[in-house]
Amino acid sequence: MANSLSTADKKVLGLFGKAIREYNLIEPDDRLAVAVSGGKDSLAMLYMLKERMKWVPIKYDLLAIHLDMGFAGTQPRAVEQACLDMGVPFHFEQTDYGLKAHSPDNKENPCFLCAWFRRKHLFQLCKKLQFNKIAFGHNKDDIIETLLLNMFYSGGISTMVPKQVFFEGDLTIIRPMALLEDDRIKGFARRMGLLVIPNPCPSAQNSSRKEIKTFLASLYARNKKIRGNIFHALSHVRPDYLPPPIS
């Protein structure tokens, strides 16, 4: 495969591998569950994790996990086929979390509740199936957007991190796409012929994250260095130049 890759695809795989090495995301004999929604990020991540097994000396187990959130238009069988075509075992469970989160009683923040239900279920599945790590497909742009979302709407400076340990080390979240921008992943998924399943969530195109994404896109169009500068700033914080909390 490597000889037939384009320069752009080699760059994607290089950044994917760099994230795994720099953040020490995968270790020998890891049992790695992969949260697969059917979108480009999770399917591209699964594809690269599977391909890496062919040439890296580190051995690890893979399992694709898909939770159907209960929305009309979901395609779990298509997601399953995409995973099986890659040679990755597939585990599927039906839920109504999306419908609960978008109920009339929860109009204020359906995305938060939906994500909370989903993550809790995935954590429980990892414990039940004895997987010590779970991979999420959040990319570099997701990390930047989350920083601004938390600043604007939660009044704090925080974001998603490439590696996060829970339950005294029993489970670790990893994000191998942390160094990859959205456009790179989109192009890679297209060139690899990955079947990308449309997101059926009714809030997908009308959310605070979408507003932040549009705002950032306008900044990037004026200055291409801004994306990299924001990401660089996340690991170069100067606490002495930040005001103390107000009591």
Give the pLDDT score at 53: 95
Instruction: Measure Cα distances from 240 to 166, 236, 237, 243, 244 in Å.
Output: 29, 12, 9, 8, 9
Instruction: Measure Cα distances from 193 to 44, 47, 85, 86, 186 in Å.
Output: 10, 11, 11, 12, 11
Give the pLDDT score at 124: 96
The sign of the dihedral angle between the CA atoms of 15, 19, 22, 24 is negative
| pLDDT averaged over every residue in the chain | 92
- Contact between residue 25 and residue 170 where contact means Cβ atoms under 8 Å apart: no
What whole-number distance in Å separates Cα of residue 86 and Cα of residue 88?
6
What whole-number distance in Å separates Cα of residue 215 and Cα of residue 217?
6
Asked if the model's pLDDT at residue 1 lies above 60, the reply is no
Give the pLDDT score at 100: 80
Q: Which residue has the higher pLDDT, 113 or 213?
A: 213
**What average pLDDT does this structure show over 115-125?**
94
Confidence grade of residue 101 (pLDDT, cut at 50, 70, 90):
confident
The whole-angstrom distance between residue 37's C-alpha and the CA centroid of its chain comes to: 10
Give the pLDDT score at 5: 87
pTM: 0.94
Encoded amino acid at 10, one letter: K
Q: Is 59 helix (H, G, I), strand (E, B) or coil?
A: coil
- Which domains can be identified in the chain, with CATH numbers? 2-241 (3.40.50.620)
